[in-house]
């Protein structure tokens, strides 16, 4: 049998099993025999939950039928997990829910709490990738709804857990700030995921961070729902592993339920809700369930599961268990159960035929329109204090700017390792915690995934976080929080959800006395290729203020995710050409100074050589320019300032009239900004023989005296500059000699 035929027939066989049970009345029994009145659920409410389960199941069945026709594009379904409908019913619709991709029943059930919802229509538009899909606009099949407080998730590896932890922390933080935020102050955050994803380092980091905070008495109203179906695609989860891992985990309350039994799941979910809401503590709700139909429509589970295992799983279908509950409790008889089953199937089929005819995304412009979020009004206060205009290095001016920003934006929150009492590794955040308190300047645990997740969750809840990553090398274990979560939220929610944030990262090379790969890292390609992410890199103290203040404005008003890459070697640099000259100290430009995205800076007006650079490259090029000038070479230095969103037209205008152009790039030759810069200039008509690169080698940075040998140097810039300017200088010399001869001849005449 062909693979596609099997994938279509496999769920249909499960449908036949349900219809067979209707004829025979052979329903499986629940593990625990709850009575409806024991769990405070009415017969009508139980019927409602069962109908929700049926809607979820028929969506799964019909998605596969549509896929076989080429009309649907997503078949990772919820079959076997439909018990999460009872979890949805146990919480308020205003409780933010970060959902597992198998939680269609949760979304369907929650939609019953808000008038005017059309969940079947919405989900079928999503299956069909229609541009009218109300959550993602046809960009992906995601479970999400602004009206239902369900931010969309695309995660399959639990990368949404850190931001759920952050959102939970933010609810408590808003209470300490005096109120506000996207969600009510007594909300509980729900986050669901699978047993396989539980083992991912991202999930473990989020669980650890939540427990770490709760262990110290920090409010963390969070319910983590692990939907344990016992297998991750083809790899079994060891029996008892989830319970053994979580039952005694510090900071958490552990609860479990039979996810096949609506009554048991409802009972456990209500208890989880009560603990989290009343005590503001995290709960781990372990829901045992089953996976039916394989992992997705493309997954033939008979290739790795024995027929007996598949048959046993099919017999544990939660729909069979729910139908048995309804019949045994005298709520519905077999005929009524069958009628409900068929009516839901007909409704889904009818709506699907309408949904597949709706418009699809057709152009790149349509796809990309939601990468940049919509603009919001600023909440900044005016600055009433004075500005210390004493020239100072970058670390000092950044500290002054942060103090101003925290005063002007009462909803601004800082978080990172050692930024509070210590004031940061390089002193940039000194005195901030003493002035604004530990709830606004947060010393976090040592986990970059959790730091970024905290920021994402805070941003979704109406705060503007400034996060600090101690070293660029430390970002790489957590970069998916930026790539897969922060930068995608607006894209996959059609601009309805945003997580504005500023991430300050100390990085790049040239440190003195403290080196090595982990503290000198010049790999930034991962930041530059994330759609919508902005990256700024200052070269001096005044620009650092302007870029940071613009970054906060971009986060506050334009809801952007902005990284400010701060050159460690320039934090405390004071002198430029000789010791004591103080030429790399700058006056604070004040609270209104901002450097707009893409706007470069410039030093000098020389036309023989244009040096295009950023960060440490500007500092080195300024030193080199002085030596070149002594050799008769006139140069100008163009400082990019922004490493994404570069205004290439403006860069072209700045270098257009120069004879030679040298890109000095302290990042590696492969994957560095220089590649983009040269390409953009060639596209604008600059001849290749005028373009040159001086970059770092494709190497990690070593420790000790060799720490800078793979990087551009002042000597290398001077050598390259003299070589490039030599033909021009010879032409000038020849022109001078010719002019002298003409002048001499004229005098003789």
Question: Catalytic amino acids?
Answer: 519
In 91-140, alpha helices (H):
104-111, 119-127
Eight-state DSSP code of residue 145: B
DSSP 56-101: HHHHHHHHHHHHHTT--------TT-TTHHHHHHHS-TTS-EE--T
* Dist CA 175 CA 190 (whole Å): 19
* Dist CA 292 CA 300 (whole Å): 11
* Dist CA 434 CA 444 (whole Å): 16
Give the start-end residues of each E strand in 476-560.
501-507, 534-536
* Dist CA 330 CA 309 (whole Å): 32
* Dist CA 649 CA 432 (whole Å): 40
* Dist CA 669 CA 71 (whole Å): 45
Does an H or E element contain 235, and which?
Answer: strand 235-236
Bridge partners of 660, per DSSP, are 609
Q: Can you read off the two tokens belonging to residue 194?
A: 């699978």
Bridge partners of 696, per DSSP, are 668
Burial 729-741 (b: 16+ CB within 10 A, else e): eeeeeeeeeeeee
Burial 627-645 (b: 16+ CB within 10 A, else e): bbeeeebbbbbbbbbbbbe
Q: Can you read off the two tokens belonging to residue 84?
A: 């999460």
What is the separation of C-alpha 267 from the centre of its chain, rounded to a whole number of angstroms?
A: 34
CB of 8 within 8 A of CB of 68?
yes
Q: What's the Cα-to-Cα distance from 598 to each of 31, 35, 78, 616, 644, rounded to whole Å?
A: 63, 65, 45, 18, 8
Q: Which residue has the tokens 């970058």?
A: 394
In sign, the C-alpha dihedral spanning 125, 129, 135, 137 is negative
Q: What's the Cα-to-Cα distance from 208 to each of 9, 17, 97, 161, 466, rounded to whole Å?
A: 42, 42, 20, 11, 22
3-state secondary structure (DSSP) of residue 257: strand
CA atoms within 13 A on the CB side of 454: 33
DSSP 606-665: -SSEEEEE-THHHHHHHHHHHHHHHTT--EEEEE--BSSS--HHHHHHHHTT-SEEEEEE
CB of 440 within 8 A of CB of 413?
yes
| C-alpha closest to that of 667 among 499, 563, 522 | 522
* Dist CA 123 CA 309 (whole Å): 31
For residue 328, the tally of other CB atoms under 10 A from its CB is: 12
What is the separation of C-alpha 489 from the centre of its chain, rounded to a whole number of angstroms?
A: 7
* Dist CA 64 CA 166 (whole Å): 36
Eight-state DSSP code of residue 570: G
Size (the chain), residues:
749
Rg (CA), the chain: 31
| C-alpha closest to that of 293 among 13, 101, 51 | 13
What is the separation of C-alpha 543 from the centre of its chain, rounded to a whole number of angstroms?
A: 27
């Amino acid at each position: 049998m062909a693979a596609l035929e099997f994938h279509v027939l496999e769920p249909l066989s499960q449908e036949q099993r349900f219809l067979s049970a209707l004829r025979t009345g052979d329903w499986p029994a629940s593990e625990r025999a709850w009575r409806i009145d024991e769990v405070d659920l009415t017969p009508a409410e139980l019927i409602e939950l069962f109908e929700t389960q049926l809607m979820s199941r028929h969506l799964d069945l019909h998605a596969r039928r549509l896929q076989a026709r080429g009309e649907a594009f997503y078949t990772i379904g919820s079959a076997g997990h439909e018990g999460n409908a009872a979890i949805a019913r146990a919480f308020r619709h205003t409780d933010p829910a970060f959902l597992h991709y198998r939680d269609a029943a949760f979304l369907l059930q929650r939609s019953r709490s808000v008038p005017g919802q059309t969940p079947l229509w919405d989900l079928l538009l999503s299956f069909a990738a229609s541009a009218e899909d109300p959550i993602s606009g046809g960009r992906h099949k995601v479970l999400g709804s602004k009206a239902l407080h369900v931010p969309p998730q695309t995660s399959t590896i639990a990368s949404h857990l850190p931001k759920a932890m952050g959102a939970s922390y933010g609810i408590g933080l808003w209470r300490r700030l005096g109120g506000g935020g996207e969600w009510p102050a007594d909300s509980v955050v729900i986050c669901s995921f699978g047993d396989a994803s539980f083992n991912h380092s991202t999930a473990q980091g989020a669980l650890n961070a939540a427990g770490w905070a709760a262990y110290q008495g920090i409010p963390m109203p969070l319910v983590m729902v692990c939907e344990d179906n016992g297998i991750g695609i083809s790899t079994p989860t060891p029996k008892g592993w989830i319970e053994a891992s979580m039952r005694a985990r510090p900071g958490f309350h552990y609860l479990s339920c039979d996810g096949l039994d609506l009554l048991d799941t409802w009972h456990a979910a209500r208890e989880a809700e009560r603990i989290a809401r009343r005590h503001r503590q995290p709960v781990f709700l372990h829901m045992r369930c089953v996976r039916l139909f394989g992992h997705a429509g493309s997954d033939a589970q008979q290739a790795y599961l024995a027929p007996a295992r598949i048959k046993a799983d099919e017999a544990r279908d939660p729909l069979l268990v729910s139908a048995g509950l309804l019949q045994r409790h005298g709520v519905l008889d077999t005929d009524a159960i069958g009628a409900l089953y068929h009516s839901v199937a007909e409704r889904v089929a009818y709506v699907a035929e309408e949904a597949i005819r709706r418009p699809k995304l057709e152009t790149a412009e349509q796809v990309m329109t939601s990468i940049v979020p919509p603009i919001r009004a600023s909440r900044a206060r005016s600055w009433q204090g004075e500005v210390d205009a004493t020239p100072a290095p970058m670390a000092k001016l950044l500290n002054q700017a942060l103090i101003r920003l925290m005063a002007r934006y009462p909803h601004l929150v800082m978080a990172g390792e050692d930024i509070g009492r210590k004031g940061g590794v390089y002193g940039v955040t000194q005195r901030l915690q003493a002035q604004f308190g530990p709830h606004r300047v947060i010393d976090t645990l040592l986990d970059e995934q959790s730091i970024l997740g905290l920021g994402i969750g805070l941003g979704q809840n109406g705060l503007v976080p400034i996060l600090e990553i101690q070293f660029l090398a430390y970002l790489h274990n957590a970069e998916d929080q930026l790539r897969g979560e922060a930068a995608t939220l607006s894209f996959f929610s059609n601009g309805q959800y945003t997580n504005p944030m500023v991430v300050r990262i100390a990085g790049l090379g040239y440190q003195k006395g403290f080196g090595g790969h982990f503290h000198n890292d010049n790999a930034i390609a991962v930041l530059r290729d994330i759609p919508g992410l902005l990256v700024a890199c200052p070269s001096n103290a005044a620009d650092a203020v302007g870029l940071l203040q613009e970054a906060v404005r971009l986060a506050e008003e334009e809801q952007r995710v902005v990284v400010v890459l701060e050159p460690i070697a320039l934090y405390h640099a004071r002198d430029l050409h000789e010791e004591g000259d103080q030429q790399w100290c700058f006056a604070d430009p004040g609270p209104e100074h901002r450097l707009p995205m893409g706007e470069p800076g410039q030093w000098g007006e020389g036309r023989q050589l244009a040096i295009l650079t950023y960060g440490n490259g500007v500092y080195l090029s300024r030193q080199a320019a002085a030596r070149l000038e002594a050799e008769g070479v006139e140069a100008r230095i163009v400082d990019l300032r922004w490493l994404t969103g570069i205004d290439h037209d403006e860069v072209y205008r700045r270098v257009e009239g120069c004879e030679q152009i040298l890109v000095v790039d302290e990042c590696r030759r492969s994957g560095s900004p220089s590649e983009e810069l040269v390409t953009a200039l060639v596209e604008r008509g600059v001849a290749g023989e005028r373009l040159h690169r001086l970059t770092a080698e494709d190497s990690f940075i070593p420790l000790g005296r060799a720490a800078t040998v793979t990087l551009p140097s002042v000597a290398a810039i001077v050598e390259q500059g003299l070589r490039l300017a030599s033909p021009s200088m010879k032409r000038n010399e020849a022109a001078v000699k010719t002019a002298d001869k003409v002048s001499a001849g004229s005098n003789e005449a």
